[in-house]
Amino acid sequence: MRPGKEYLVKEASDYLSRSEYVFLTDYHGINVEETTELRSKLAERGAEFHVVKNSSLKLAAKEKNLPDLSEHLTGHTAIVIGGDDASAVAKALDLYFKDTKKVPVKAGTLGDRLLTAEEVKKLSKLPGLEGLRSQLLSLFNTSATQLVGVLSAPSRGLVTVLKAKQDKN
């Protein structure tokens, strides 16, 4: 492999190493100002937007044992990586596309799973990481409250019976 191509594959591989997910987008028709705006919106969520060569990304993905992205590596491809919350990043991409009709999502990977564009859209509809955490804590709290209620029911019943007995006398 020639040195220039080797460098591009290594660069793509470094990008893929930074994230548990990768979203492939089509960046055709986006100008410098729009790219800067998109990058800043993604940076708010800890994500990055990088233009990559399809052939370099294909080799880097294979090197990283990612699902086969070949069928989605056509035309102008950019990747979105990084950030702890894949759902929030997918949401930012979806909002950007709705506003500008540019940078549609082609596909993605999450862990070792290949996602279609429709699945990435569904991911964007999920609550963010903080929302999921609060829902989980709410479930834990609800269970504890119900457990206390169940455990205290027999003693409450006994107290009620004793009180009724005392009132009768």
Q: What pLDDT sits at residue 144? A: 66
Question: For 9-32, how does the pLDDT look when each residue is reduced to its tens digit (9 = 90+)?
Answer: 999 999 999 999 999 999 998 999
Q: What pLDDT sits at residue 161? A: 76
DSSP per residue over the chain, as a string? --HHHHHHHHHHHHHHHT-SEEEEEE-TT--HHHHHHHHHHHHTTTEEEEE--HHHHHHHHHHTTPPP-GGG--SSEEEEEE-S-HHHHHHHHHHHHHHHS-S-EEEEEETTEEEEHHHHHHHHHS--HHHHHHHHHHHHHHHHHHHHHHHHHHHHHHHHHHHHHHHH-
Q: What pLDDT sits at residue 147? A: 64
Using the predicted structure, report yes or no on whether residue 37 has a pLDDT greater than 90: yes
Q: What is the pTM of this model?
A: 0.76
Question: For 115-162, how does the pLDDT look when each residue is reduced to its tens digit (9 = 90+)?
Answer: 999 999 999 998 877 787 887 788 777 766 776 777 777 777 777 877
Mean pLDDT (whole number) for 94-99: 94
The mean predicted confidence, pLDDT, of the chain is 88
Q: What pLDDT sits at residue 164? A: 80
Using the predicted structure, report yes or no on whether residue 43 has a pLDDT greater than 90: yes
